[in-house]
Every structure is written in C-alpha cells, then in structure tokens.
Amino acid sequence: MQFVMSSVSSLFTKPYEVRKVQLSEYSGGSDKLKEEGRIVLYKNGSSWDCLLICPDTPMTALRLFQVSSEADALNWFPHYALKLLPFYEILPLPNPKVFQPIVDSLRSHPDWSSAHIAVDTGLKECLKHNYVQSQINACDGSGQTPLHLACERGDVGCVRVLLEECQARTDVKDNNGETPMHCAAKQDSPAIIQICRMLLDNKCEVNYLSKTGESPLHILTRRGRFEASMVLLTHGANPNLRGMDGNTSLHLAMKMEQLDLIKALIVFGADVEMPNDLGETPGLLAACASKGSNRKVLLDMLYSVGVQRCAPPFSPLDPQPPSTPRSVASPPGIGFEDIMDVSASVGAMSRGLVEVDTVKPKRDRLLCLDGGGIRGLVLIQLLIALEKEAGRPIKELFDWISGTSTGGILALAIVHGKDMEYLRSLYFRMKEQVFQGSRPYKSAPLEHFLKKEFGENTMMTDVRHPRVMVTGVLADRDPGELHIFRNYDPPSLPQERPYSSTANFKPLTIPQGNAVLPCVF
C-alpha cells in the first residue's frame, strides 16, 4: 500500500512537465476523450493525460500534461490544441527540451497568442506560420502586441521578422498608451539602437506621449542613453515635447547632469528657456541641481547659447526682483544685438524722403553652399537661424541656390522643400549610413540614400524655382570634366552653339563615381 501511494505521489509531482512516453501505455484501458490535430486527451486510470502525437515516431509521443483534475484537463486542452499548432508543424522532431518552454509560456500567460509565445521563446521561424501571421497584431490583456514584447525583450531577430516579413503594425498602443518604441526605450540591451532604427524605418511614431506623459525620448533621456537618443533626434524626435509635469527632455537631462545629452538636445533645437509646470527652466535646474564641477560647465554652456538668467521667474509678491547670477552676467562691451540696432538706425537715417518713390533695381538673391562633409551642419544651423529671423522658409528667400559636394545635396533638399530641421537630422543620418569606414567611401550607400530621400525618378526640371546649380565631375574621362546639374536652360551667345539640355538627366541615379563625393566626414 505504501508503494502504491508513493507511485501516485510522484506521478503528480510535476503534472505539467513534458515527457516522452510510449503510446502502448494508452492502447489498453485508456479512453480517448478529445482529439484536435495532433493533440489528444486521454482518461488514463486516475489521471487525464494530454499527448502530442508525432507521426515520425509512431511508437512514442510527448505527454504535455498529466493532471488529477478533469476540470484542469478540460480547461487547458483547448489552449494546447489551438496555440501549439504552429510549433509542432514547423519545428523538427519534437522533443521535451524544445516544447517545455513553449508550454510553460502558454500556461504562464493564458492571454497570449501563438505569436506572443513564439516571441517569448525566441522561435522566430514560427512567426512565419500562416496561423501565427493571422495573429501578428493580436493584443494580450495589457494591450501589448508581439512587437511590443519583442522590443521589450530586446530580441533583434524577432523584431526584424515581425517588421520585414510579417508587416507588424508599429502604431498600436498598449493599455498604458505606449508604442513599441516606448518598450524598446525601456530595455538596457545594447541592441536598443538597432531596434529603434528598424522601428523608425517602418514609420513608428517617435513623438507620441504615453498615458504617463512620456515620449520615447523622455525615457531614453531619463535612463541616460545618449546613443539611442541621438538615433531618435536624427529621425525627428521633438526635444521640446512637454511630458509629465511639463518637463521636456532637456529638463530631465539637466536634473541628471547628462552633459553629452544636454549638448545634443540643444543642437537639435531644445528650448533652453521653456519653463515646466513649476516654472522651472532648464537653466534654473542646472543652477539648483548641479553641485559639482559640472555646475560651471552647464551654466557657461547655457550662457553661450543665449540664456541671460538662471533664476526663477520674478513674482510680483517679491519685494526685489532676483539678481542675475554673476556666472551668467552680461559681459561688458558691444554685443551682436547692439551692432544690429546701430546698423538699423544708421540705415533708417540714411534714407531720405527723396528715396520713397525711387524704383528699386531688380536684384536676384544667390545662396552658395560650400562642401566640407560634416561642416554642412554649420551651414544648416546658420540657415535655421536665418529662417527664424525671416519667418519664411529658405526656399522663399533666394532666387538662386548653388552647391558642391554635401552643399549640393543640401541645395537639392532646399529646392525640394525639405524642412531645415529635417535636414539637420538628415545630415546626421547620412554620416552614419553613408560615410562608413575609411576613404574612399563606397558610392552605393550614397546612391541608395539619395534615392530614398528624393525619389528614384526625380529630375532636375521637376522644380523650376528657385534655380539650382550643383557641381559635379565627369570622372569617366581623363582629364575629368566639370558638369553642372541645373533646372534651367542657360543663355547662349548668338555666335556660340546652345548648351545641350540636361532635362533628361536624373541626378540622383547617375553613377555616383561621376560625382564629387564629400570626404571630410
């Protein structure tokens, strides 16, 4: 009797352990209760056993569970029969070690689909099964899709398959209002940069605020992830997006004294004087939160970009307005604004009434953009400042635009109406994606990059104004010859032959070896 009790006790110690069993054990007094596909439920004496039949091994099967409760057996059998289908159809000869994590995942998360289970177990090949494809955007109880889960786990392989082969949606928000990008931003894996780039390439929203008031950039800033933050900033992340308590990413970076992040955010247009809901500006946070050697560095950095004070806003209840800190006091001497004011005054005085009705001579405004690789960012920063002062796009401020090397790429982008903030991000992306390794750089990445940005069939004559000139070198001859790509027909003298038209040239699909490639990146 003691032997029988011991056998029964050991029988149900691990009821959900996957084991290989002999089918002959179920050929006698066992009753087959249910069968769906290869999943069969038996009543075997005092237990209810669920088996996975393996056609390649007709004498053996995998026992998925052996429970003493009929209710438990009838509860789990439909889950096993439905969700294990893609796994036993795709995986090679089933064995307990392979199926144990699958059934453990199934039991731990009854609300998961087969796609969730495939991601959880890292079986990315199972994501291609037709049944799994039908559930690729299914949400679990927390509203997360398999893509959310893959990003949360930092599984690059599953993320790639979900996006490139399964066309998983990137715009689904979970119950917390978080996109897959939010989930990726929270994990610490080095793969976060690669995952963020894949999500961005598949149009994942980068400026969406969750229900907790955080964008992916807020999360990355709070976690001090500089490289990943740069990926988002170069793909259009808004550094001035107000999150919880009205804090921007710059507020968070100031609190944590993340110098590299602070510099990057300012370069990408973060407002250094934007107050949060408590009236705190980034400068005030720098003055209050920083106590070490970073304090002077932060304050000097803010002063260099035009912040005049790092004190709280003046309250009418205060008897005296706060004094400007000595470290940010205005230096003596004539500043740029003083020079501009004087110039404007002198200019106004020099124009008498006699000039009111004078016909102004027609003038054309020409913008010349030099090359120099990454130095093109300096041009972009100047043009951004010019746009802000003029209140109009650069394209509307000039009649002619010329450029060489990266300046030529910038000129083409301007005439096609690209936003200057976008061009700043584009230059950073071009540095990472095109100019890799050492010189001479391969031309194929540049050609692919330009086609993606401007369109494969874009022609110079698609835009008539402003007029554009881009210099290039015809390097398929010796010596090389200058060639000017343009969107207009130049005038010719009567005694000279007219210039041949370049209307049929597709500047973005010409052999890149014939162009002047930047080499200073």
Same domain, 308 and 391: no
* Residue that is written with structure tokens 């001479």 in the block: 440
Q: Does residue 102 lie in a domain region?
A: yes
Q: Which of 49, 78, 108 is the last residue of a domain?
A: 108
- CATH code for position 276: 1.25.40.20
- Looking at 41, 73, 108, the residue that finishes a domain is 108
Boundary (domain end) residue, out of 312, 345, 378:
312
Question: Does residue 318 lie within any of the structural domains?
Answer: no
Residue 179 lies in a domain: no
Q: Give yes or no: residues 307 and 392 share one domain.
A: no
In this structure, are 298 and 392 located in the same domain? no
Q: Are residues 401 and 507 in the same domain?
A: yes
Q: Are 417 and 504 in the same domain?
A: yes
101 and 9, same structural domain?
Answer: yes
392 and 510: one domain? yes
Instruction: Work out how many domains the chain is built from and give that number.
Output: 3
**Which is it for the CA torsion 182, 186, 191, 192, positive or negative?**
positive
- Asked if residue 154 belongs to a domain, the reply is no
Residues pairing with 369 in the sheet: 403
Which residue in 448, 409, 422 sits closest to 234, CA to CA? 422
Q: Are the C-beta atoms of 401 and 365 separated by less than 8 Å?
A: no
Closest by CA position to 509, among listed 462, 473, 442, 459: 459
**Domain membership flag for residue 201:** no
Residues 409, 508 within the same domain: yes
pTM: 0.74
Beta strand pairing call for 47-53 and 39-44: antiparallel
Going residue by residue through the chain (521 aa), what tens digit of pLDDT does each one get?
444 444 444 455 789 999 999 998 888 778 899 999 999 999 998 999 999 999 888 899 999 999 999 999 999 999 999 999 999 999 987 789 999 999 999 999 999 999 999 999 999 999 999 999 999 999 999 999 999 999 999 999 999 999 999 999 999 999 999 999 999 999 888 899 999 999 999 999 999 999 999 999 999 999 999 999 999 999 999 999 999 999 999 999 998 888 899 989 998 989 988 999 999 988 888 777 666 677 777 777 777 776 765 555 544 444 444 444 444 444 444 444 544 554 554 444 444 444 555 566 778 899 998 887 767 888 888 898 888 888 888 988 999 999 888 888 889 888 888 888 888 888 888 877 777 777 777 778 888 888 887 877 777 767 778 888 888 888 778 888 888 888 887 766 555 555 555 445 555 444 343 344 444 33
Q: Quote the CA–CA distance of 178 and 194 in Å, as a whole number.
A: 19
Same domain, 9 and 95: yes
**Is position 504 within any domain?**
yes
Nearest alpha-carbon partner for 373 in 431, 316, 415, 424: 431
Residue carrying structure tokens 């990315």? 124
Domain that holds residue 9: 1-108
DSSP per residue, 143-193: S--HHHHHHHHT-HHHHHIIIIIS---S----TTS--HHHHHHH---TTHH
Measured distance CA(154)–CA(160) in Å, rounded? 11
| 207 within a domain of the structure (yes/no) | no
> Are 307 and 391 in a shared domain?
no
Residues 237 and 260: their CA atoms lie apart, in Å, by: 17
